Every structure is written in structure tokens, then in C-alpha cells.
Structure 1
Amino acid sequence: MFPKWFDNWNKDNPTNIFGPAIAVGVAGSAVFVAAMIVGFGQPFPTESQQTGPRGTGMHVQEFVSDLAVYPDVEGFFTSEPIVPADGAALMGDAEGVPPSLANLTPENYERLVTAMRDWTGIPDLLEPGNDSYQTTVAYSMIEMTQNINQNWAAHVQANAEVGVTCYTCHRGQPVPNNVWFQVSPVNSNVAGWSANQNRVTMVSNFTSLPSDYLETYLLADADGNYAAINVHDLESRVANQPGDPLIQQTERTYAFMNYFSNSLGVNCTFCHNTRAFYDPSQVTPQWATAGLGIIMVQETLAEYILPLQDVLPAERLGPVYADVPKLACRTCHQGEQQPLNGLNVIRNWPELAVLDGEPDYSAFE
């Protein structure tokens, strides 16, 4: 087919054509895919939420397919309350009734307990005569939920009535997902910096960042103070003054911010103008909501979670330091900007909306 001299030349000068062929094939495929996307559109459409002024790149982008699927929403059990008649009997001091629910009528009490059993996956929760640790924990968790709904509405209802119930965290399981335990010190033989970086832990989101940021920022020290969330000086080669944050604090802060991003499924621009991190006047409204959330979690841990240390059995405690399981942003949000995609879980449960006072049933009259 080819001239004899050409065949002889190829025989004397063998060449590997597979490498160039693969390169040409890859390049051609890339051009073809690009042409298809331009011609027919993005096969995985996205939606963007603008979080700041136009032209600053402040937006949160998500796949439409991810926004359309919220399986936990379908599992939320709810029912409308029964409006009490004037002078209706209340549960009062009946056996097994939590003090925070003593002002409910028997019908609404049973309705709420039935829902709580479904929300937590504990079929005998608050069963009369059940003196298990779950009863003690339930008493504390009911008050915690009421406190959050009543006193932290600026966080849990920042944009609309949403609220929280047991289901917000539990999602039908006795122990919620995304709880956390103490992980430091990871090396008790090292003085100074606790060598808590470069550890493959879920708390660090499998990064080389510190793993102790949650316990550092959300738990009080021996004097009742919380560590400041800050970074080192913005200028380079600045001599640190006493009390100034070091690079370790900066990396802890980055680890905490990374936790926020993963907990809410957002990026930095959800709260910050990333071209001006240093300027508090350019943060978004969500920054204030997140700040309230930090304080809310600190209070919740101190008043409702940590006191359960001596209540929980050994199998419910942490694997390293046998500490109580703790909550934080991801426990409720579980990767969404609003837990359960902003589902109003408190509407039918006025019993959980107030810590002090009577439930308000006026919306159902």
C-alpha cells in the first residue's frame, strides 16, 4: 500500500504512537465535551444565592439536584394540638411527667410524648415507671428545646418561624448524628503546643488543621471564660505583643470556620466579604446569626449537656476521655443552611416553644 522505502524507513525507525494517540484522544474528547456543554447546557444545573454586593463574587452555589432532595423532611411526624377547654385538667405532678410539661392537658401531653418517641426512636421514652437514664436526659432535653425556642429565636427563627424540636437533631435516632467528643491532648508527653494538628480525625474534617477548636471555643475554661476567636496580625513580620493571638490560634480559627462551612453546606462568602475579612462593616447578616449561634451553643453545653456527664452510661461516653457527647452547629444543620431546609417544626408544638409560661394555642382556636 505504501512505497517500499516508506515501509523500510518505518521498520528501521520504530516509533511508539500510543502516547501521542492518547494525548490527541484526550484533547479531542475535552473539546467535544466543551462543545456539548456550550451547545446543550450544563448537565448538572446549579443555583446561586447572592450574599453580598454584585461584582464581589459573594454567592453560595449548589447543585439543583442537591436542593431537591431532603429525605429527613419526609420523616418528620407532626399533628395539630388539641386546644384545651377552660378549666381543663392538667398533668400536674402525675408520675413520670417532666416538670416542664406539667401544665399540659393529658391529651396534648400524650400527643407530644408520642411525637417525641417517633423523633428520637426510643419507643418507651417517658413511660411511667421507667427510671432509666433516658428519662433523666429527656427532662433536660425538653427544657433545652424550650429554652432555645423561647430565648434564642434570633438564631433559630432569624428569617421565619422555624424553631427546633427533638427531631431537628435526632432524626429518628436515639443518639443524634454529628455529636463530638474531646480529642485533646493527643500527646500528653509533649509540653506546650499539644501536637493536635496533622491528625486524621472527623473533628478536623480530615484536614491538617487543629482538632481541638470545638472544645477550645465552645467550652469554658476553669475560670468560666471562653477563648477568643481571632487571627494573628494582618501585617507581616509584626512582633507579637503579650496576649496577641499566635499562628496556632489562627489555625484553630480556620478550623472552626471550615467546620461552619461543612455544617451549613456553604462557603466563606455566606458570612464574609472574602476580599475584606478584616473589615467587620462588610460582613453579611448571616455573620450576626452565626455569632448568636456560637453563644447559644456555649450556653446549651454548659447548662444542659455537660451536667449529664454522670447520668449517661459508659457506652454513651466518648471513646478517649469518656466525656459526654456534645452538640454544635452540624448536629442540627447537618449540611443545610437551615435545619431540615427551613421546615417549620415548631408550629404544631407550642408546648416546646416556651420555657416560662403557658403554651399559646391561639393559632388553633
Structure 2
Amino acid sequence: MRMMSKLTTIGALAATTVLLAGCEIGPKSSEQTGYRGTGIVQINDRSNATAPGEVPPPPYELPPSSGETAGQAYENVNVLAHVSKEEFDYTMAAITQWIVPADAPAAEAGCNYCHVPENLADDSKYTKVVARRMIQMTQSINQNYSDHVKQTGVTCYTCHRGNAVPKYVWTDPKPGDGRLMGNKRGQNTPVEAVGYTSLPVDTYAKYMRTQSGAARVISKTIHPTTANRSSIKDTEGNYAIMMHLSQSLGVNCTYCHNSRSFAQWEQSSPQRSLAWYGLQMVKNTNEEYIHPLASVFPANRLGPQGDPYKTNCATCHQQQRKPLGGAQMAKDYPALLTLPGAGSAVPSGPMMQTPGAAAPVAAAAGN
């Protein structure tokens, strides 16, 4: 019996070893990201790390200004009319390098992607109309969202990485067909947005467009109250958006949360507040800048619901805690740092106070 027991134990250990061989059991490193003793630790799988991506150098050294503005030198310059002609040319050269796809047909290569070659002032190409608004969006992010982007800032390359359409974008999902037995109620469809689980598929639409959607479902009392009407589906949606955040930044839950109390802001790491401001930034980006362009985009640039492709956390981060590894790229492109006539910046709240419904959100930037 003892021999049989030993053989059984050895067999079980061998089977366990075989099963674990398919798991991520390689070397790990841990990094304390929160207060000591709270268990807020980031576990890094060194064998499965994602490269931050290469940062392209400026197209050339920005020359000194001759005193002539872009608005004076060229026809029909709107968003960047206030910068010098030299800085305008420099910024346009960089944007061409960041956006135009490498495999674009000759008719759309280089400046021709946005401009009519016979008349650069012509606005007939939709890409030029969109590019203007995207430049304003970039200026707004750098000016009004320092609570998230800090001094690093963003450029067009942060999202596009040499692609006309950024790699990580989303559109509103197609609704169910309405039949009692065939309507999945927005769930149980294996889509990448929720890690191919049975969670709600409209996660981005719920949390990354309107200013009212808040990823908060935990009640503060043990008894039902009218203050919290969250359903099981709401809770599933909350979990789905947390999955998106984790995957987009390549981090685990304890990068932001204290596992002893996920809801308590005062026990969370500062990164949780940074993430909250980031969500407000994404909402404003989609609601004020991208979604209103639905009538400008052609049909092939719209989703099944007729809305344009919008941003989420992965659009910039791409599995990095800091986009492009935290490279301070924006400082080389001063025309993208502030809106013309810089308006009032979004006020900052105390970093570790609970951001609630009345927390500051970005005001729409004017043209």
C-alpha cells in the first residue's frame, strides 16, 4: 500500500509538472508600485515583455523663425496659422512621417495623403479635414490633461505608429437581432474587447464615450439602497473595463488597487488616480473630437453602427505602462503642445481623493 501510495504521489507530481509546462512559469520580477505593506506589487514576466516601440527622430532640426507665420505664407491654414512658417513645415513633415502608411499608393503617398497635389489649399480630401481636428485634439490633450500625460505629452505618433488608422481602435458593436431566443442582450459573444469571455460586448461604448459612465459598482452599505442600482450586468461591465485597462498597460490589478479593498481610494496607489484622469481624457477625445466626424469619414472608415473608429487605453499604451516607454517625444514639436490662444486648463483635484460624479472633466476645445 505504501509503495502504491508513493507511486500515486509521484504520478500526480509528474502530471502536475506536465500541466504546468504550458503555463507562464518562467522567471518573474516584482516591483513595489504602492505603499509598503499594502501588497501593491507589479509582477513582470520578463520572458513575455512587450517592446516599447521605436521613437522616430524629428524630420530635421527645427530652423529659427524668419518672422513670417504659416497663415501669412500659405493659403487656407487654420489650426496652425499662428506658428512660424518654419515650424509649420517642420510639423507637417513629422506628421507625414507618423501617419502615412508605408504601403500607400503613389497617389496618396507623402503630402498627397491629405492634400490635392495641384492645390495644397484645397479641402476636398476628408483626410485633411480630419487631420485638422486631430491636431486640435492633440493640442487639447497636452494642454488640458497633464494630470494624465504629465510632462511627457502625446503626438500623432503616440497612437498612429506609422498607420493611417491606429492599430487599437473600436466602434459601437452591432446590436442583437431582437428575437427572444436569439438576442444575447449584448453578452456571450467572444470578442477581443472582453478577452473572449461572456462579458458585455459594449464595454467601450459604456465607459469611453459619455461623461456619465463610471466604472463603479461596489455599494458602501451592506443593505440595498436607492444610491446604488448597479445590476449584475453592470458589475460584469465594470470587470470587463478593468480587464481592458490591465491588458492595455500590461499590468496586473495591484498596479492600481490594494487587493484588500479594491474600492478604497485612500488605500490605492497613485496610479489609480492617473488611470481615472486617463479615462476622462479618452471620453473627451471620443465625444468631442472623433465621434462628431462621423459625417466626414467615408463608409469604409466607419463601424457597423455608422460611427468612426475611436480611442481606448490601448490606442496609446499598446501594452506599456507609459506609451513608447515614457519617451518624451512631444517636447520636440511645440506646435502640438497648446491650443491657439490657450484657454483655461482643466482644474486638478487632490490626487488621492475619490473622483466622483462632480470631479473635473475636460471642457470642449474651440476651433
Q: TM-score range by the shorter chain?
A: 0.7 to 0.9
- The residue that corresponds to 1:155 in the other structure is 148
Contact 1:49 1:60 in 2 (8 A): yes
Alignment partners' CA distance in 2, 1:28 and 1:263: 34
For residues 193-212 of structure 1, what are the structure 2 equivalents within 5 Å? 195-212=185-202
Q: Does 1:245 find its partner at 2:230?
A: yes
**Deviation of the 1:45 alpha carbon:** 4.1
**Deviation of the 1:187 alpha carbon:** 3.9
Contact 2:55 2:327 in 1 (8 A): no
Q: Does 1:58 find its partner at 2:40?
A: yes
Q: Secondary structure at the match of 1:100?
A: coil
- The residue that corresponds to 1:256 in the other structure is 241
**Deviation of the 1:52 alpha carbon:** 2.0
Alignment partners' CA distance in 2, 1:261 and 1:30: 28
Contact 2:172 2:202 in 1 (8 A): yes
Q: Secondary structure at the match of 2:140?
A: helix
**Deviation of the 1:156 alpha carbon:** 0.7
Q: Secondary structure at the match of 1:299?
A: helix
Change in CA separation of 1:80 and 1:63 when aligned onto 2, cut-off 3 Å = farther
Alignment partners' CA distance in 1, 2:317 and 2:25: 28
Q: Secondary structure at the match of 1:99?
A: coil
- The residue that corresponds to 2:130 in the other structure is 137
- The residue that corresponds to 1:314 in the other structure is 299
Return the letter of the residue paired with 1:61: I
| 273, 297, 321: which one aligns with 2:258 | 273
Q: Secondary structure at the match of 1:137?
A: helix
**Deviation of the 1:295 alpha carbon:** 1.1
Change in CA separation of 1:205 and 1:96 when aligned onto 2, cut-off 3 Å = farther
TM-score (norm 2): 0.77
- The residue that corresponds to 1:81 in the other structure is 62
**Deviation of the 1:56 alpha carbon:** 3.5
Contact 1:184 1:194 in 2 (8 A): no
Change in CA separation of 1:145 and 1:206 when aligned onto 2, cut-off 3 Å = same
Change in CA separation of 1:44 and 1:229 when aligned onto 2, cut-off 3 Å = closer
My pick for the range that moved more, 253-262 or 293-302, is 293-302
Contact 2:29 2:46 in 1 (8 A): yes
Q: Residue deviations 1:97-135, cap 9 Å, x none?
A: 542211222222111111101101252244314621000
Q: Does 1:340 find its partner at 2:324?
A: yes
For residues 1-365 of structure 1, what are the structure 2 equivalents within 5 Å? 27=14, 44-65=26-47, 69-70=51-52, 72-75=53-56, 77=58, 79-85=60-66, 88-92=67-71, 95=74, 98-121=77-100, 123=110, 124-127=112-115, 128=120, 129=122, 131-157=124-150, 161-190=151-180, 195-220=185-210, 226-233=212-219, 238-239=223-224, 241=226, 244-318=229-303, 320-357=304-341
Alignment partners' CA distance in 1, 2:30 and 2:100: 36
My pick for the range that moved more, 180-189 or 272-281, is 180-189
**Deviation of the 1:309 alpha carbon:** 0.2
Identity %: 35
Change in CA separation of 1:291 and 1:79 when aligned onto 2, cut-off 3 Å = farther
Change in CA separation of 1:94 and 1:315 when aligned onto 2, cut-off 3 Å = farther
Can you give the 5+ residue segments of structure 2 that lack an aligned partner in the other structure? Answer: 1-6, 102-109, 343-367
Can you give the 5+ residue segments of structure 1 that lack an aligned partner in the other structure? Answer: 1-19, 35-41, 359-365
Alignment partners' CA distance in 2, 1:55 and 1:166: 40
Cα RMSD (Å) of the superposition? 3.2
Q: Secondary structure at the match of 1:206?
A: coil
**Deviation of the 1:209 alpha carbon:** 1.2
Change in CA separation of 1:285 and 1:80 when aligned onto 2, cut-off 3 Å = farther
Contact 2:34 2:270 in 1 (8 A): no
Return the letter of the residue paired with 2:96: R
Larger Rg: 1
Change in CA separation of 1:341 and 1:97 when aligned onto 2, cut-off 3 Å = farther
Q: Residue deviations 1:199-219, cap 9 Å, x none?
A: 111222211111112111222
Change in CA separation of 1:79 and 1:190 when aligned onto 2, cut-off 3 Å = farther
Return the letter of the residue paired with 1:353: L
Alignment partners' CA distance in 1, 2:257 and 2:263: 9
Contact 2:70 2:85 in 1 (8 A): yes
Alignment partners' CA distance in 1, 2:249 and 2:50: 16
**Deviation of the 1:270 alpha carbon:** 1.1
Contact 2:82 2:340 in 1 (8 A): no
Q: Residue deviations 1:134-187, cap 9 Å, x none?
A: 000000000000110111112111xxx311001000000000011001115334
Q: Secondary structure at the match of 2:332?
A: coil
Change in CA separation of 1:328 and 1:185 when aligned onto 2, cut-off 3 Å = same
Alignment partners' CA distance in 2, 1:217 and 1:299: 11
Alignment partners' CA distance in 1, 2:198 and 2:266: 31
Alignment partners' CA distance in 1, 2:195 and 2:50: 25
Alignment coverage as a number of residue pairs: 318
Contact 1:77 1:118 in 2 (8 A): no
Change in CA separation of 1:235 and 1:135 when aligned onto 2, cut-off 3 Å = same
- The residue that corresponds to 1:362 in the other structure is none
Contact 2:100 2:163 in 1 (8 A): yes
